[in-house]
Amino acid sequence: MTRSPHEFVGILGWPLDHTLSPVLHAAAFRALKIPWVYLTWPVHPDDLGRAVEGLRVLGARGANVTMPHKESVVPFLDALSPDAEAIGAVNTIHEVAGKLIGHNTDVSGFAAAFEEGTGVSPQGEDCLVLGAGGSARAVVRSLATQGARSVAVAARDVSKAAEVASIAQGEGLPWNEAPENLAAHKIIVNCTPLGMAGEDPLDGAPLGPEHVVFDLIYAPPHTPLVDRARAGGATASGGLGMLVHQAADALRIWTGSEAPIGMMSAAAVHAVAPSHSLPGPNEV
């Protein structure tokens, strides 16, 4: 296939009323001075297989994948990266010589954002992850690969919490036991959407200087959990950095170019102004 210099990528999801991916990647393409186009493809779950085949037929360089397709897209791909295979979920597709390869840049994106936002390494630390959805799977994998000593997952469905925790050979906890387990964990990562509605996933349980808190939610920039953690002397960060870094890693996979993090961050900050209505925790 002869390629046009005007390459294109896009995002597969359902629905796609709100996604920041076009904003981030458009800023990156401008900064890199490459004539690429980023498209949005709202794809009903029943049509996902045909949509993925369309990527091949039309010559897309790749795609981002967001809810609810991150896991269901796997059978339609030719191969998976180690991270995507380990967690059974894909957020980035890359076309290579006619083959579609699935990646999960949420894993590396979280690692970069956590270091940037907290200045702390998970190596040798005990970690507690709140929630057991797709983003939690990526976070657990990331903490494990960074050398966390232990990773526990708390969720309302204890069996699902245990399944996600098994990615790091950790344990699943009942949701109502999370607050009483804070003393045993230095690092707490919220992967639930509760903060978007002004709720605190830890119900006001004490957080202090011994804790490091990361909330994947990026809108609002300061959730009740982050604000309360900082007030108690804990190190705390919101999730905007993860949104940027996972997008930057997808860009590197597609183009082979170093991502213009500064330009992408500036675009993200502008996009999360209070007037914007935004998607859930780090769903691109």
Residues belonging to the active site: 70
Cβ pair 127, 189 in contact under 8 A? yes
CA pair distance 177, 171, nearest whole angstrom: 12
Per DSSP bridges, beta strands 92-96 and 99-103 are antiparallel
Cα–Cα distances (Å) from 133 to 102, 115, 216, 281, in that order, read 19, 22, 12, 11
Q: Omega before 260 cis (within 30°)?
A: no
- Neighbour-count burial for 203-212, b at 16+ CB within 10 Å, e otherwise: eeeebeeebb
CA pair distance 103, 18, nearest whole angstrom: 22
For helices 240-255 and 261-271, give the axis angle rounded to 10 degrees.
Answer: 130
Cβ pair 113, 139 in contact under 8 A? no
User: How many other C-beta atoms lie within 10 A of the C-beta of residue 33?
Assistant: 6
**Residue given tokens 């200045």 in the structure block:** 119
Spatial CB neighbours of 273, under 8 Å, sequence gap ≥ 6: none
For helices 105-118 and 240-255, give the axis angle rounded to 10 degrees.
Answer: 130
